Each structure stands twice: as structure tokens, then as C-alpha cells.
Amino acid sequence: MLRRLAFAPLALACACATNPVTGKSELSLVSEAQEIQIGREEAQKVGQSIGYYDDAALQSYVAAIGQRLAAESERPQLPWEFHVVEDASVNAFALPGGFIFVTRGLMSSVTNEAELASVIGHEIAHVTHRHSVQQISRAQVAQLGLVAGSILSSTVAQYGGLLGQGLGVLFLKYGRDAELEADGSGFRYALADRYDVRQMVEVFAVLEGVSQLSGAGKLPEWLSTHPDPGNRIQATQARLDTITLPANLKVNREEYLRRIRGMPYGDDPRQGFFRGNRFLHPALRFQLDLPQGWKAQNMPTALVAVSPNQDAIVQLGLAGKVEPTQAARQFLSQQGIRAGESSTQSINGNPAATSYFAAQTEQGEIRGIVTFVSYGGTTYGLMGYTAASTLDQYDGTFKQMIRSFRSLDDASALNVKPARLELVQVDQPMTVSEFNQRYPSPIRVEELALINGLEGPDDTMRPGRQYKRVIGSVFATSTNQPAATTTERP
């Protein structure tokens, strides 16, 4: 995309456009057709790398809400798409041209349809205000798109920042003015479709609290990509004070809860989880031991761990269906990489090809070791790298990690299932703490209160209403999370 924009006609350098929402003239180097093309290309990458939540009925439900809100916007002609992505973090994001995504984690954290509509309306507003186009026009294109994170990507050149970046560069970090604009317009879109916009106050409180309590998921949490320098709850309340709301506005609490009943809660352990420093991947049937004390994160396209001194990285990623020797040749032929001593061998009965390598980065020369191993019909890449001066220090650690790659045969690991949301109808007033004693969940009681839209453990649940509980086991998907906890049905 950088290249595509770099060779755009010089005439674009002075192009201006009228903002469809504000009516103001603004610098724009991207036409609407280009905006849609960029968004569509990036949306395909989201589907491929993160994946959609496997529930056609829920996808249609969310899309219907989004299409109604988009029809109330200033850009109804865009090819709007709305998807739920398979990720446990509490987030939503918009790509240029009208491609809107909400995470499964957000769906499990809000409590009614009006709250969801507030979030979707906010993301629609980022598109109608052309906020991403404005950033592209300000030469901030590098914040768009996916960082592949695989062993065959350019991550070597990004030494030192991989774990912190992850997929964070997918989401544009808008400034205060853009966020307030999106809040205001999203408020209007939701109200135009007769949603109870008072729920917008609730959703900000819930999202903020869940972001503080939960670190689950592969994507950044809501507040890390939607900065809140001002008090947006107060701003929303002030907006409410200026209008008289009509009667019979939609909340649709019971309908919404029915839709998400049975939804997985937290990360899906079948896509990889930790027992101490051991990483187990039930779906792909392999396991791997990471260095003790290293901070690790299981991301959609790579498993990455960073040393305590943040001066070395190990990672595992998919290299595809190629043979290990071919994968090694492809990796070592990349521009800027110099091959070192190489060999072919077997790792726990699996064919493998290994080579040392060196590469020049902005931070100086790095050196490391990379191994491609064929297992289960797929070739995996395992790599460790550090500064040239510290390779001797970490060489043994890298090799030990690589040699630990092996098959997973433990039935208890192969048969794990994600925790799920269940609904309980309360028959008498009780606090969240009392509810949790009667219907235990494997999450903290503070988190249980938040996902039910309540202020804390001592807040009271109303009789006759349904409330969420979590059943099953919650697994750690990074080495910073606690070990798995479990509940069973009473």
C-alpha cells in the first residue's frame, strides 16, 4: 500500500475533498474508490489471519444491526460489511470503506443490543468522518494492515518491537477530536434507529472496566486503540441532557442474551494454551517448551516470547506445505539476510533444516538460528534471534527451545474445550457475590459483575431477569496469565 500511494499522480498532493459529515473541506489523497479498495483488501486479511466467529445466525444478527445504522449515516452508499471475529479481546474496529468488525470478546461483555449498537455506530462514524483517510493523507499509512508475524515475514527487520506490536498496527489510534466526533455521530445513528442511547453511558463503563480486568485475546483491548483523554461518559451524559428522548426506545436485553448464550468465553484453548512455560496446541497436536521466565503471547500467526531483559526473541510460525530445506532456502534468500552454518537433521522424528543467520537492522546487527521442521503435513518455522554480541549467551536457549518441538499425545490436553456463557434466571434479589457462590464462574467476581452490566460484587441482581455466568475452564494464552481455573454445572 505504501508503494501504491507513493506512485500516485502528483496532482493528488493538493487534492481536497468535502467531509461528508462536517461539510468542511479537508486534504484527501485517497478517493472513495481507493478507500473502498484498501478496506476490502485489509478486510480479507482480517478474515484470513484472525477468522470469523462460526455462527451464521449471530453474524446475520450483527450485520442487520449494522446495516440499519449505516443506512442512517451520511455515507449509506458504501459497501458496508459487518462481521464478528473470533477473538476474545474486548474490541471493535473499522477499516476504510465501510468494513466493520466486533470481536467475540466484546459480544460476550456487553449486555444488550442497544449497547452493541452504540459500539457499531461509533465504528461506522469513523468511516463516515473518513478518519482513516485523513490519517493516510497525513502519511500515517504504516499504521494500516497486518504485521504478518510469521517466520517468513519481515519481522527480523522489526527486532525489539514484535511482541509489543502484535496485531496492534491493524487499528488506527485516533486522537481526541476524532473519538469525540465518532461518539457524537454514533449516538445520532443509534438514536435514529430508535435505540436507547442512554445505554452508551453503560457501554463505556463496561468496556473500560473489562479492559482493566481482562488481558485475554490476541487483539489489543478497546481502550488501547480508542484513547480516552477526556471523560467520554460525561460527554455522552451532557449530550443526553440536551435532548428529550422519545418513548419506547429499544434496549432488547433478553433477545441479545439469548443470541450469545453458549458463546465461548475467553480464548479458545484448542488454538493453543500454556501450562507453565509449556505451550500446547490441541488443534495442531504439537507442544513446545519456551525458556523459563520469558514473556510469551500466542498470536493469530505466531507464538512469540521475549527474554526478561528484552534483548532476545523466540518465535514459532507456519511456513506452509513446503519441504523444510525449501523453506530454509526461501528464508535465507531474503534481502538483507546472510546465511551461516546450516544442517539437516531430525527433531523428535520430524525432518528439519537448520541454519544460523545474520541481518542488519536499524538497531544494529542481529544474529540467530532458524529451524524449519515438517510435522503433520505442515512445515513450521522456529527461530531465535538477538543482538550479534549476545548470540553466544542465548545460543543454547534457542537450541533447547527448537529441540523441544514434539507431538502432543496427552488426552487431557487434546480434549480441552473453551469456557462458555450460560444464562441463569434469578428468582430473588441477590448480590453478584451471592450469585457467584450459588452459580460459580471461573473468573473473578469483579469481572462477572462487569459482563452483567453491574458496578461490582455488592451490586444487586433483580429477580426475574437473566444474568450471565461462565462455565468450564479458562486457560492461559500467555505466560502472564494465571493457570486454568474450572467450574462445573451445579
Round to whole Å and give the CA distance between 104 and 106.
5
What backbone torsions phi and psi does residue 367 show, to the nearest 5 degrees? -135, 150
List CB contacts of 391: < 8 A, sequence separation 6 or more.
367, 368
Position 363 scores a pLDDT of: 73
**CATH, range 286-407:** 3.40.1000.10
Q: What's the pLDDT tens digit per position in 372-389?
A: 999 999 999 999 999 999
Average pLDDT, the chain: 83
Distance between CA atoms of 18 and 7, rounded to whole angstroms? 24
What mean pLDDT do residues 439-448 have? 95
Q: Is 373 helix (H, G, I), strand (E, B) or coil?
A: strand
Q: What is the pLDDT of residue 19?
A: 79
Task: Write out the E strands in 195-301.
Answer: 264-265, 273-275, 278-281, 286-289, 295-298
Which of 18 and 304 is assigned the larger pLDDT?
A: 304
pLDDT-based confidence at residue 21 (cuts at 50, 70, 90): confident
User: Three-state DSSP class for 240?
Assistant: helix
Give the pLDDT band of residue 486 (cuts 50, 70, 90).
low
CA distances from 104 to 62, 133, 160 (A): 11, 27, 30
Asked if the model's pLDDT at residue 133 lies above 80, the reply is: no
CA atoms within 13 A on the CB side of 26: 20
Q: pLDDT value at position 474?
A: 86
Retrieve residue 64's grid coordinates. Answer: 442487520
Assign 211 a pLDDT band (cuts: 50, 70, 90). low
**Widest pairwise Cα distance in the chain:** 75
Long-range CB contacts (within 8 A, 24+) of 487-490: 487/440, 487/441, 487/442, 489/422, 490/438, 490/439, 490/440
Give the cell for residue 218.
Answer: 490476541
Mean pLDDT calculated for residue range 233-245: 89
- 313-350 pLDDT per residue, tens: 999 998 989 999 999 999 999 888 999 999 999 999 99
The whole-angstrom separation of Cα 395 and Cα 273 is 26
Burial of 20 (0-12, 13-18, 19+ CB in 10 A): middle
Instruction: Kindly list the distances between the CA atom of residue 171 and the CA atoms of 53, 127, 191, in Å, as whole numbers in the listed order.
Output: 19, 13, 26
Q: Which residue has the higher pLDDT, 221 or 56?
A: 56
Q: 266: left (phi > 0), else alpha (psi -120 to 50), else beta? A: left
Please compute the mean of the pLDDT values over residues 177-181 and round it to a whole number. Answer: 82
| High-pLDDT (> 90) share of the chain, % | 61
Query: Where exactly are the structural domains of the chain?
Result: 2-260, 286-407, 414-487
Residues 6+ apart with CB under 8 A from 234: none
Percent of the chain with pLDDT over 70: 80
Grid coordinates 517466520 are at which residue?
151
* Comparison of pLDDT for 410 and 211, the residue scoring more: 410
Segment holding 328, helix H or strand E: helix 324-332
Give the whole-angstrom CA distance, residue 338 versus residue 367: 9
Q: Provide the strand spans (E) within 292-418.
A: 295-298, 302-306, 312-320, 337-347, 350-361, 364-375, 378-387, 406-407
168: pLDDT strictly greater than 60: no
Q: Report CA torsion sign: 329, 334, 335, 339.
A: negative
Examine the pLDDT at 83 and tell me if it is beyond 90.
yes
